[in-house]
Chains A and B, each alone.
Chain A
Amino acid sequence: MTEIKNAHFTTLQGAYDTELMEATLRIRRWDPDTQRARFDTFTVTVPVTASVLDALDAIKDTRDGTLAYRKSCRMAVCGSCGMRIDGGAALACKTPMKKFVDAGHTITVSPMGNLPVIKDLVVDMAPFWEKIRAVKPYLDTKDEEVPDTEWRVSPEHHEMIHKESLCILCGCCVSECNSMESDPDFLGPAALAKAYRFVGDARDTDTRERLRDLNGAHGIWDCTRCYFCNQRCPKGVDPRDAIAKLGAESFKEGFVRDEGARHAKVFVDSTYKGGYLRETELVPKTIGPVNAVKDIPFALQLARAGKVPNPLSPHKAKDNDEVKRLWKLLEKEAKGAERPRAMHPDAVREG
């Protein structure tokens, strides 16, 4: 054992040395007893390395013990402390205070959106978990004989669901989802990313049934593609990309009847034919001719407001052959990408 020289050896000198700063936060409070909201502003002394969560802790420990928020890991993996910081959802533990302090900016902290508030920054996550449960969130290998050892999955196939596997179910994407704001029954970005985690899993054999369900009401085609979920996700899951992958898988399985799927297909067909989107075909082909006729008064209103393009203009690309070549190239590539399949170890041995 090395000889010990320092007399204060049980204690590390400078263990708590840290530079401090004053942080100011404006917090939206919600009192569950009176059902009333108010804003409180606090200034607390915290280390320069403090996160927004550390600042909330300083308030709770020294100023106001009634402040309610969720927390646990403080390292961006448990997903407890999702809240709105200056109006956008983020993990409080992953948001450093210093940049705001340096800018002389008082941040406003409020609960996540699209979920009912219980108290202060705590929201009721029950609707969130309901959506997760709705996508059958577990591996289904159906009647496949379970091997004695592990399923064989190539590193490339494993990589296909890497981003979705990073999801910590914090709800930041759901908080900012535009579709959920208008349709609370929309499955939403978190549940759909979870769904792709199984659709893309080489071991799962329930793909067709999963895609059929996801093509139903409030499913993948209800996403408005606003990309707020990608923007607000603290873990780089990119839920909108997962939804796009589910759409592509749905087409491969022949699920093309949903309005949303038909809408997407018009884009594809129209660009193939003319290199441009023909807006006049979009509505009838998406919602059907009968419904389109019903919508004629609305179309006329739009036309009067100058919102309808001239239906008689040719609207065709100059060199459409090049568009077609590109299109065929993409099609070939998509066909080459077979669905990944896990191998039974016995099959590997026989092969």
Chain B
Amino acid sequence: MIRHDVIVLGAGCAGMRAAIEAKRRGVDVAVISKLHPTRSHSGAAEGGINAALGNATEDSSDSHAFDTIKGSDYLGDQDAIEVFAQEAPNDIYELEHMGAIFTRAADGKLAQRPFGAAGAPRTVYSADITGHVLIHVLYEQLVKHEVKVYEEFFATQVVVDEGRCAGVIAWDTQKGGLHAIEANHVILATGGVGRMYYGTTNAFACTGDGMSLAWRAGVPLKDMEFLQFHPTTLKSNGVLITEGCRGEGGYLRNKDGDRFMVGDAPNAMELASRDVVSRAEWKEIADGRGVDGCVLLDLTHLGWKKIKTRLPGSRELAIDYAGVDPVETPIPVRPGAHYMMGGVDCDLWGETMVPGLWAAGEVACVSIHGANRLGGNSLMETIVFGRRAGQAAAERVLEQGDTGARIEPGVLADEDRRIAGILNNDQGERPGLLREELAKTMYDKAGVYRTEAALGECQEKVHELRERAKTLKLDDHGSVFNTDLTNALELISLLECADCLVTSALARKESRGAHSRLDHTERDDETWLKHTLNWCDDGEVRLDYRPVTITKHQPLARSY
């Protein structure tokens, strides 16, 4: 039996930051990830990371907190957002001391750029490859601190023993075989679930594994109906073109060349919050003012030099995947599924209702983002709450010692039978085709705009797909690098998360943040200023609700 004090599941920014913190505090920590750490999707984040350093103009943590609360459409928990905004600046300095290569201002300080719905230029960045820079600096620290990494291990179960976290069971993708890896503390940092949608910015790996693991282990998923659509994604493969393009002065135009944001956000225009911009685009396209199912992101007036120095990555992506050079031609873009505001319910230190099971980053719902996340806040969340989870789990180990929670041999044997059942099955449908059916269903019926009727059809379809996915046809029954098997396991996670999303969305009869109901167009604070909780009831979704924490800011109408 392998055993560690703390296991971190997932090796993106949140997971690596948590592992580094736990290791620094002197406990035995190991990282388990289905990918090599630098392959994690945090690395695809482009625009930046928000902290009120005040390097560009005067700024304050209070202002950062208020913008985040307003952006969340008042569904974010204000105590959590205050902690987040206050701790962000020090975490940025620490990343810089680790070696992060951030873009500099002329005075040698960290440069800060404006981002959507922010009261000041608050976004620290590295050109338009900020996530790439962070994932590499954190991996460097992982190497420096000699953290053990189980690379290309796919976790199939979080084991709970008498109400306490006991560790995980994971499949070794490279060699094959299931392993029980015991730990009193498991930090989930597995990222998002964008792959349940057809048009998505997310990597293939973003399949909600950690959400599904927690849900099955008895932890509720919170606010799953709030899925952010990013306004500027490419039609061909969903690849994201950073908000930094608009931060640097890019325009959104319809087929007539008009800057249509003047209708919904006459002040902030293109830099309104993401939900607002996505809805405006959707309306333009649906009402026939789009171009080939897209609107146009126009950077041509920024000039060659600015595009080359500030947005080189976006230019490369537009050339590679849309076939246009933004120096000369506007980029066709549309809204794509981007970020799950909801996730594993946890407290301000990341701990869930199961003692010893923690969550941080996109997999978690603390909740900072409420009904809508601001650009630049997700990378910051991974660092602040990754660090906090690593710190809290390590402190618990040092205070408490062994809790006695164990993975009993019978539990491993049962899981072995379940996985063997999937591995050896050659009847039914292929996982890849079912995944595509799910993704199109979600994009068509639970997208930027939602209705009772569409969500109802969506739910029915998701239930049908969950049933059909009980027998998946695998071609590969081998043990070495069997991605047929991992695709099947990922599909099951996606379907469970999709069920939580659509069930929550159907129930929430209001429009708030990213959740826009055409049949309930107003925000309804009286009934719906509350968090949705999705419990797993013998594999079915059961809904429950919890009040939002409000400290200083009573809900106001939200306009930009």
Contacts and interface: CB of A to CB of B under 8 A. Distances in A.
Interface of A: 1-2, 4-6, 8-18, 32-33, 47, 49, 51, 54, 57, 60-62, 64-66, 68-80, 94, 96, 118-120, 122, 125, 129, 132-133, 137-139, 141, 146-155, 158, 161-162, 165-169, 198, 201, 203-204, 343, 348
A158 B41 CA distance: 25
Contacts of A1: 264, 521
5 contacts: A4-B449, A11-B454, A12-B444, A54-B237, A129-B36
A72 B35 contact: yes
Contact of B104 (A11, A120, A155): A155
B518 A9 contact: yes
Contacts of A169: 38, 136
Nearest to A202: B108
B283 A73 contact: no
A137 B145 CA distance: 11
Contacts of A154: 104, 106, 108
Given A61-B432, A74-B237, A152-B107, A146 B321 contact: no
A9 B143 contact: no
A203 B286 contact: no
A343 B108 contact: yes
Interface string B487-527: 10000000000000000000000000000001001000000
A12 B286 contact: yes
Interface in B134-181: 136-137, 140-141, 143-144, 174
Given A2-B263, A65-B474, A161-B101, A119 B198 contact: no
A33 B480 contact: yes
A343 B131 CA distance: 25
B320 A76 contact: yes
Contacts of A76: 316-317, 320
A62 B285 contact: no
A61 B101 contact: no
B57 interface: no
Contacts of B476: 65-66, 68
B553 interface: no
B293 A15 contact: yes
Nearest to A148: B93
Nearest to A10: B454
B447 interface: yes
A145 B141 CA distance: 19
B36 A122 contact: no
Interface string B19-60: 000000000000000011011110110000000010000000
B39 A78 contact: yes
Interface residues of B, number: 90
10 tightest Cβ-Cβ pairs between the two chains A and B: A61-B432, A139-B99, A65-B475, A152-B108, A49-B236, A138-B140, A65-B484, A66-B476, A138-B144, A6-B286
Contacts of B449: 4, 9-10
Which of A14, A76, A78, A133 gathers the greatest number of chain B CB atoms within 10 Å? Answer: A78
B360 interface: no
B133 A72 contact: no
B141 to A, nearest CB: 6
Given A9-B286, A73-B43, A158 B101 contact: yes
Nearest to B199: A15
A202 B527 CA distance: 56
A contact patch SS: loop
A119 B485 CA distance: 15
Contact of A150 (B110, B480, B481): B110
Contacts of A60: 432, 483-484, 487
Given A9-B449, A65-B484, A139-B99, A152 B109 contact: yes
Interface string B97-131: 11101111111111000000000000000100101
B287 interface: yes
Contacts of B443: 15
A72 B203 contact: yes
Nearest to B472: A65
A166 B35 contact: no
A76 B97 CA distance: 27
A204 B140 CA distance: 14
B421 interface: no
B33 to A, nearest CB: 11
B288 to A, nearest CB: 8
Contact of A118 (B107, B137, B283, B481): B481
Interface string B188-206: 0000000000110001110
B70 interface: no
Given A14-B292, A73-B41, A76-B320, A348 B475 contact: no
B430 A138 contact: no
Contacts of B144: 138
B518 A4 contact: yes
A118 B174 contact: yes
B109 A150 contact: yes
Contact of B481 (A17, A64, A78, A122): A122
B204 A138 contact: no
Contacts of A161: 101
Contacts of A148: 93
Contacts of A120: 481
B531 interface: no
Contact of B432 (A57, A132, A167): A57
B239 to A, nearest CB: 5
B143 A14 contact: no
A178 B451 CA distance: 60
A78 to B, nearest CB: 4
For A17, A119, A343, the residue with the greatest tally of chain B CB atoms inside 10 Å of its CB is: A119
Given A9-B286, A68-B476, A348-B108, 10 more contacts: A10-B518, A12-B286, A15-B199, A66-B475, A147-B97, A153-B108, A155-B103, A162-B101, A165-B101, A169-B136
B557 interface: no
B321 A4 contact: no
Contact of A13 (B44, B133, B286): B286
B440 interface: yes
A120 B97 CA distance: 41
B358 interface: no
A57 B430 CA distance: 12
B106 A155 contact: yes
Contacts of B431: 65
Interface string B223-248: 00000000000001101100000000
Contact of A16 (B36, B237, B440): B440
Contacts of A18: 236
B35 A12 contact: no
Most chain B Cβ neighbours within 10 Å, of A62, A122, A161:
A122
